[in-house]
Amino acid sequence: MSASVPAEAAIHLPVRAAEESVLYSEASTRDYSRCRTPDRPAPGTVFHVKPLKRSARRSLLVAHVAVSVGWLGLTVGLLALAITAFSTADPATARAATRAMKVFGDWLIVPVALFSLFSGLVLALGTPWGLARHRWVWTKFWLTLITVALSVFSLRPGIDEAATRGTVDADLVVAPSVATAAYLFITAISVLKPWGPTRRSHRLRRSAGAGKGLDERTPRRTA
């Protein structure tokens, strides 16, 4: 799904749309390679790290998407088990469901959450997307940071307690419901990449005069 605008048409775009197009064309997965990457960090870059090579970027992107969307699936699984334990009248079923939740909690939640966060960080900092250059990345970063903290410090201990008791209270149904909604939202903004560059990125681009001629390729988004 790539939106491309002919070079002549881009001249007539409003300033903001043209600036966004330049940013998206820099960020395209298809054209990206080290030899085309500007030497100096782009305006709006908070931390400058060595750009990822094309093959490394692609491999990491596959791993990032697989694990991050896997995290969404894991949370839906937890929600199904929590609803089962919460609604059943059979204590043996509730115990079995809470034990299964503990297996997810002990083995998967923390490593999956941390891998999603760190692979996302490396992709953001090692590619022209940047961490604070585009609103969709910045929003994902904060939402993920909050949900990772809640998973480690609240959800996991909650699951341990439920497994010890063999029952689930309403909190343990609400937590994976909210988390599922958050990960669905994060997945949607990852694919759609809405809202364009951050205000800070706009300001820095304008003051650096970088909008002109930094990238004259056909504007192209990754999604």
Q: Are 205 and 138 a contacting pair, CB within 8 Å?
A: no
State which of positions 154-213 bind ligand HEM (CB under 6 A). Answer: 183, 186-187, 190-191
Q: Are 151 and 111 a contacting pair, CB within 8 Å?
A: no
Quote the CA–CA distance of 26 and 101 in Å, as a whole number: 43
- The pair of three-digit structure tokens given for residue 187, joined into one six-digit string: 């997945």
State which of positions 39-58 bind ligand HEM (CB under 6 A). Answer: 57
Q: Is 131 exposed, middle or buried (0-12, 13-18, 19+ CB in 10 A)?
A: buried
Q: Is 24 in the site for ligand HEM (CB under 6 A)?
A: no
State which of positions 75-134 bind ligand HEM (CB under 6 A). Answer: 116-117, 120-121, 123-124, 127, 129
Instruction: State phi, psi for 48 to the nearest 5 degrees.
Output: -100, 115
Q: What is the DSSP letter of 1?
A: -
Q: How many residues bind ligand HEM (CB under 6 A)?
A: 28
Could you tell me the smallest distance in angstroms from the CB atom of residue 90 to ligand HEM? 34
Residue nearest to ligand HEM (CB): 120
* Binding-site ranges for ligand HEM (CB under 6 A): 29, 57, 61, 64-65, 68-69, 71-72, 116-117, 120-121, 123-124, 127, 129, 137, 140-141, 144, 183, 186-187, 190-191, 222-223
